[in-house]
């Protein structure tokens, strides 16, 4: 596996060396850090980690973040490691930090709010203080590592105010933020105490990246309506004499690396094992972290509805749902877990017989090579989040299919991926009837239509891969292009915000 990750990285390097000028170093900062696997080591890396590591190799950079470990007293000690030409620097956090910053403000306040779940959003002042404290700890710890010409690339909702804290320490470098989640509508965001302070702090970045034009548009709307700032024709925001570029950079998978993984023996074995276990039945697959944003309860109910509406299909279709537990210290995640256990039991109880169980619900994670084999064995990929920044599983499902006999992707209209994967069967995940009908349509879809749709989906997944994404972001961070390289969609987004 490490060999696959490495070869993907070298391809990325070969394909993207910009020429003879001296590249700036890149400092990547994220909540967690993925240490690259040494050559020959076992285990898999995510596509994002592979892409960021390849960018770091190219730019001789450092990846900084939380180690994922606890310490009884925060010392600021930096654990520096060099693996496979990438330097990582990590800090440990105190239990109170983890509780208030990661489990608290990040995952009990911002995550639900950014996924439009105001009902699950908790506004606790301690969380806000813990979030600020940890962002300050990040700033204090990473500051000594930053040299004058470095590009600084911060990731995600855990670290929104980090750029402003670094500016306060005198960091004048080009700094960018990429948000992996949705950005909520202004009407929801204003329910967050101190929302102006949080969003204003983000304007210290030079580039702010979103997954889609929809989230970009919501952000620009907030900036205009709540902060009273001017959004220029090129989507930039004029702020204190500076120009802040806001753009959509839809993330992709590492298509080349994933295709290699899908062709591996490990993938083939996983495929064969699953295929023989379903014994000729049609297979639907879902792969998601166990998160309420992924719409798993609604998905199970839609599948139950399909079985009720089509009794002749009972015994002829199986849903495999892989759902590794996530953020288990947060009550809403414990609740969704219990809810899903109840729903699975209920649907299986109603539709199973002695030799058949309709839902296989698996609470563990699998390496991506095995996932690739599972995806390929499936007739339908069910990707039905209620809200999702992008959703890489949808793209992996497409990349894993046999183009001669591809499965059908059923995709929520509320996933960021739906703006690119328009040849999927797009559904409203809140409507069990709609999803049930899409399952019927997918099962009945003629081969020629499956092939035609898949070819278009694959072209998008291949052309807009993770290397394309990180090159686009890094170029914007370097300040290349007069208009920040905006596409027609983004120009339309800013025009509609100005019109609003
Ligand atoms: O680190 P965790 O708390 O275990 O969570 C895992 C990641 O979840 C989120 O992923 C998002 O990023 C994906 C890639 O851009 C995107 O496709 C997806 O829609 C998002 O949900 C989170 O934003 C990451 O920071 C976490 O590492
Ligand atoms: O058992 C699993 C389940 C998921 N994943 C990976 O986790 C990522 C999930 O990314 P996505 O954007 O779909 O959602 P997120 O979990 O980041 O919100 C994908 O690359 C999956 O292949 C995995 O490696 N093993």
Q: Just list the catalytic residues.
A: 180, 388
Atom 23 of ligand 1, nearest CA residue? 180
Our mutation pick for probing the ligand 2 site, out of 46, 254, 397, counting the most ligand atoms within 8 A of Cβ, is 46
Does residue 391 line the site of ligand 1, with CB under 6 A? yes
User: What's the CA gap between 230 and 223, in Å, rounded?
Assistant: 8
The pLDDT of residue 499 is: 57
The pLDDT of residue 83 is: 85
Query: Do the beta carbons of residue 31 and residue 158 sit within 8 Å?
Result: yes
**Beta strands 359-362 and 317-322: pairing type?**
parallel
Closest to 210 (Cα-Cα) out of 175, 244, 183: 183
Its CATH class, for the domain covering 266-463, is alpha beta
User: What's the CA gap between 439 and 356, in Å, rounded?
Assistant: 19
Does residue 171 line the site of ligand 1, with CB under 6 A? no
Query: Do the beta carbons of residue 208 and residue 181 sit within 8 Å?
Result: no
**Beta strands 242-248 and 175-178: pairing type?**
unpaired
Question: Given the CA of residue 394, which atom of ligand 2 is nearest to it?
Answer: 13
- The structure's pTM equals 0.92
- Select the CATH number that applies to the domain covering 2-252+466-494 from these four: 3.40.190.10, 3.40.50.300, 3.40.50.2000, 3.40.640.10: 3.40.50.2000
Specify which residues 32 forms β-bridges with.
66
The pLDDT of residue 2 is: 29
Our mutation pick for probing the ligand 1 site, out of 181, 250, 386, counting the most ligand atoms within 8 A of Cβ, is 181
Does residue 388 line the site of ligand 1, with CB under 6 A? yes
Q: Which ligand is nearest to the CA of 383?
A: 2
Question: Given the CA of residue 385, which atom of ligand 1 is nearest to it?
Answer: 19
Residue 441: other Cβ atoms inside 10 A: 14
User: What's the CA gap between 339 and 324, in Å, rounded?
Assistant: 15
Query: Do the beta carbons of residue 369 and residue 260 sit within 8 Å?
Result: no
User: What's the CA gap between 337 and 424, in Å, rounded?
Assistant: 28
Atom 22 of ligand 2, nearest CA residue? 368
Closest to 400 (Cα-Cα) out of 264, 250, 211: 264
Question: Given the CA of residue 294, which atom of ligand 2 is nearest to it?
Answer: 18
**Beta strands 408-412 and 425-427: pairing type?**
parallel
**Beta strands 151-155 and 79-83: pairing type?**
unpaired
Atom 12 of ligand 1, nearest CA residue? 180
Does residue 327 line the site of ligand 1, with CB under 6 A? yes
Retrieve residue 420's tokens. 């690119």
Phi and psi for 39 in degrees, rounded to 5?
-55, 135
- Ligand 1 center to 4 CA (angstroms): 22
**Same fold? 2-252+466-494, 266-463:** yes
Does residue 423 line the site of ligand 1, with CB under 6 A? no
Retrieve residue 13's tokens. 């390097």
- Ligand 2 center to 391 CA (angstroms): 8
- Ligand 1 center to 219 CA (angstroms): 19
Q: How many Cα neighbours within 13 Å face the side chain of 174?
A: 17
Question: Given the CA of residue 388, which atom of ligand 1 is nearest to it?
Answer: 19
Residue 240: other Cβ atoms inside 10 A: 9
- Ligand 2 center to 181 CA (angstroms): 14
Task: Return per-residue pLDDT of the chain as tens, 500 residues.
Answer: 222 222 232 233 223 334 434 678 999 999 999 776 654 444 445 657 777 887 888 888 899 999 999 999 999 999 999 987 889 999 999 999 999 999 999 999 999 999 999 999 999 999 999 999 999 999 999 999 999 999 999 999 999 999 999 999 999 999 999 999 999 999 999 999 999 999 999 999 999 999 999 999 999 999 999 999 999 998 899 999 999 999 999 999 999 999 999 999 999 999 999 999 999 999 999 999 999 999 999 999 999 999 999 999 989 999 999 999 999 999 999 999 999 999 999 999 999 999 899 999 999 999 999 999 999 999 999 999 999 999 999 999 999 999 999 999 999 999 999 999 999 999 999 999 999 999 999 999 999 999 999 999 999 999 999 999 999 999 999 998 544 444 555 555 555 555 55
Specify which residues 154 forms β-bridges with.
29, 177
Atom 14 of ligand 2, nearest CA residue? 391
- Ligand 2 center to 411 CA (angstroms): 15
Residue 438: other Cβ atoms inside 10 A: 24
Query: Do the beta carbons of residue 196 and residue 227 sit within 8 Å?
Result: yes
Query: Do the beta carbons of residue 394 and residue 381 sit within 8 Å?
Result: yes
Atom 5 of ligand 1, nearest CA residue? 326
Residue 85: other Cβ atoms inside 10 A: 13
Q: Where are the domains of the chain?
A: 2-252+466-494, 266-463
Our mutation pick for probing the ligand 2 site, out of 157, 258, 287, 399, counting the most ligand atoms within 8 A of Cβ, is 287
Our mutation pick for probing the ligand 1 site, out of 180, 391, 392, counting the most ligand atoms within 8 A of Cβ, is 180
Retrieve residue 416's tokens. 């960021």
Retrieve residue 487's tokens. 């596409």
Does residue 396 line the site of ligand 1, with CB under 6 A? no
Does residue 326 line the site of ligand 1, with CB under 6 A? yes
Atom 4 of ligand 1, nearest CA residue? 326
The pLDDT of residue 13 is: 28
The pLDDT of residue 55 is: 83
The pLDDT of residue 49 is: 78
Question: Given the CA of residue 393, which atom of ligand 2 is nearest to it?
Answer: 13
């Amino acid at each position: 596996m490490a060999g696959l990750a490495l070869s993907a990285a070298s391809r990325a390097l070969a394909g993207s060396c910009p020429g003879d000028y001296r590249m700036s170093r890149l400092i990547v900062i994220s909540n967690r850090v993925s240490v690259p696997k040494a050559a020959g080591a076992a285990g898999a890396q995510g596509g994002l980690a592979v892409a960021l590591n390849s960018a770091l190799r190219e730019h001789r950079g450092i990846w900084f973040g939380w180690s994922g470990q606890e310490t009884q007293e925060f010392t600021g000690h930096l654990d520096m490691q060099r693996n496979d030409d990438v330097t990582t620097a990590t800090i440990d956090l105190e239990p109170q930090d983890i509780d208030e910053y990661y489990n608290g403000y990040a995952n009990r306040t911002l995550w639900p709010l950014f996924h439009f779940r105001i009902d699950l959003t908790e506004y606790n002042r301690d969380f806000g203080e813990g979030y600020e404290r940890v962002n300050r700890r990040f700033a204090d710890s990473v500051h000594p590592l930053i040299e004058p010409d470095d590009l600084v690339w911060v990731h995600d909702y855990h670290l929104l105010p980090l750029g402003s804290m670094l500016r306060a320490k005198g960091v004048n470098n080009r700094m960018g933020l990429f948000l992996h989640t949705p950005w909520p509508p202004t009407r929801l965001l204003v329910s967050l105490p101190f929302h102006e302070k949080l969003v204003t702090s983000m304007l210290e970045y030079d580039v702010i990246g979103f997954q889609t034009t929809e989230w970009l548009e919501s952000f620009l709307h907030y900036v205009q309506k709540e902060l009273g700032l001017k959004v220029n024709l090129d989507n930039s925001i004029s702020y204190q004499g500076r120009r802040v570029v806001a753009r959509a950079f839809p993330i992709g998978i590492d298509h080349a690396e994933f295709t290699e993984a899908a062709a591996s023996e490990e993938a083939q074995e996983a495929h064969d094992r699953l295929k023989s276990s379903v014994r000729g039945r049609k297979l639907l697959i879902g792969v998601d972290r166990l998160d309420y944003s992924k719409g798993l309860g609604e998905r199970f109910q839609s599948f139950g509805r399909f079985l009720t509406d089509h009794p002749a299909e009972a015994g002829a279709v199986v849903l495999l749902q892989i759902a590794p537990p996530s953020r288990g210290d947060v009550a809403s995640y414990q609740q969704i877990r219990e809810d899903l256990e109840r729903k699975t039991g209920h649907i299986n109880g109603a539709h199973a017989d002695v030799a058949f169980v309709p839902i296989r619900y698996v609470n563990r994670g699998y390496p991506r090579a095995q996932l690739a084999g599972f995806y390929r064995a499936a007739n339908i990929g069910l990707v039905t989040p209620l809200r999702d920044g992008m959703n890489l599983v949808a793209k992996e499902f497409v990349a894993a299919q046999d183009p001669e006999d591809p499965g059908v992707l059923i995709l929520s209209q509320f996933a960021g991926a739906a703006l690119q994967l328009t040849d999927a069967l797009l559904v409203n995940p809140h409507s069990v009837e709609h999803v049930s009908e899409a399952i019927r349509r997918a099962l009945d879809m003629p081969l020629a239509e499956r092939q035609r749709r898949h070819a278009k989906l694959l072209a998008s997944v291949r052309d807009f891969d993770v290397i394309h994404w990180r090159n686009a972001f890094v170029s914007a961070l370097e300040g290349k292009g007069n208009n920040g390289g905006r596409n027609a969609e983004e120009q339309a987004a800013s025009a509609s915000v100005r019109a609003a």
